[in-house]
Each structure stands twice: as structure tokens, then as C-alpha cells.
Amino acid sequence: MRLAALRAVLTILALSAVDNPRSLRQQQAPAPGGASLLAILAKIAYILLMDVVKATELKNRLGAVLKRATLGEVAIERHGRVVAYLVPAPRPGRTSANRGAGPEESWSRVDEERVLELSARGDFRPSRWSRAGNPRQLAGVAVMLASQEGFDRPRMLALAEQLYPGMSTPAGFSRWLAGSPIQAARFLPMLRARIQEKAPRLERAV
């Protein structure tokens, strides 16, 4: 039922964009005293995508539910109504995710090369990534790779959360995209080329 509702919301967005793009652009501006239609639909889609568990499941399978909560918000449902949320815990000692980009947000060619090599080798051990550079930038890369073909999405999101809690949430990743010096249009083609370059070597080794 949730999937059907999500499909309906996405269909409305798609049809609005195709049939009347000008109208959709006008709807993006909030009306006085109210949110825009696009924002409301986006919020509905986010809620439908949220992981939801029954209160009885929380009681009987607490460990499994807590593990899921490290990847993002989990809604606790009781009698058909959401009564609480589980959210990833903030990393101790870390400042607010809303802070402005500083020197620690830099991204050098050395950092880029190091992460390209780890990703192309399929080495996603948190211990390696935590030593590869700025944890917030690397967590953003992990979430970016989670959406790419050939990468294990749950594993990449878990890696992102270990590096920088909250990065795998829509809000956390959006903030990263807005201020990160890493450009997906540059990084992803370079990574694909590196993977293809390593493939013949692996075949010869076998």
C-alpha cells in the first residue's frame, strides 16, 4: 500500500513536469501562509520512503531494528499511527553539521586519488576510509556511490554512517552536496575508468 501511494506521488510529479512545466515552476514558490505543492509532495514521498516498524517488532527484534536505525530514521508505528522515531546517534565531540565549510572541508588531488584507488579495489573497510581523508567528505562519497550500479547500497550507507553519522539521511546528504568541493560529474567517470583499468589485471591474476 505504501509503495502504491509512493508511485502515485511520483506519477503526479512526473505528469506535472511533462504536461505543464511552467505551472510546476510556479508551484515551487510558496503561497502566502502555506508550503508549495512540490514541497508537500516531496515531503510525502520522503515519509513513504521512511523505514517503518511495528511496535511489536521493536520489542521482539530490538537489535535488528537498532541496526537499521544507524542507516537513517526509523518510524515506530502502533495501531496504525507513528508514535516515535529512531534516528542515528550523533558522533561524540562532532560539531553541528550546519557549520560552514572550513579548512577541514578541503579536497585535494591526493585525497581524490586515495579514494579512487580504494573504491576501484572494492576496499570499503571503515578503518581504511577513516584514514583516507576528511570523514565528512568521504561519507558523502560513500552515499554517492550507494546510488551507483555495482556498489552494495546497504554497505555503502553503513560506511557513510560510520564515517559521519547522519550523512545517509536526505537532509545530511543535501547539505553535503550544497557545500562539498567534490564534483560527481568529475569523480564518477574517473572511478569508472579506474575500475575498467583494473579489470584486465584481475583477470590476468586469476
What average pLDDT does the segment 156-160 reach? Answer: 94
Q: Give dist(CA 158, CA 11) in Å, integer.
A: 30
Residue 79 CB partners (closer than 8 Å, separation 6+):
none
Give residue 198's pLDDT: 78
What average pLDDT does the segment 86-94 reach? Answer: 59
**Domain-located, residue 115:** yes
Range(s) of the domain holding residue 178: 103-205
Residues 116, 198 share a domain: yes
Picking from 196, 8, 47, 190, the residue whose alpha carbon sits closest to that of residue 111 is 190
Residues 62, 40 share a domain: no
Residue 157 CB partners (closer than 8 Å, separation 6+):
71, 72, 142, 143, 146, 168
User: For residue range 20-54, what is the model confidence (pLDDT) as tens digits?
Assistant: 544 444 444 454 444 566 566 555 555 555 566 67
User: For residue range 165-195, what is the model confidence (pLDDT) as tens digits?
Assistant: 999 999 999 999 888 898 888 999 999 999 9
pTM across the whole model: 0.50
Give residue 52's pLDDT: 66
Give residue 167's pLDDT: 93
Residues 183, 166 share a domain: yes
**Domain-located, residue 98:** no
Reply yes or no on whether the pLDDT at 14 is more than 80.
no
Per the structure, how many domains does the chain have? Answer: 3
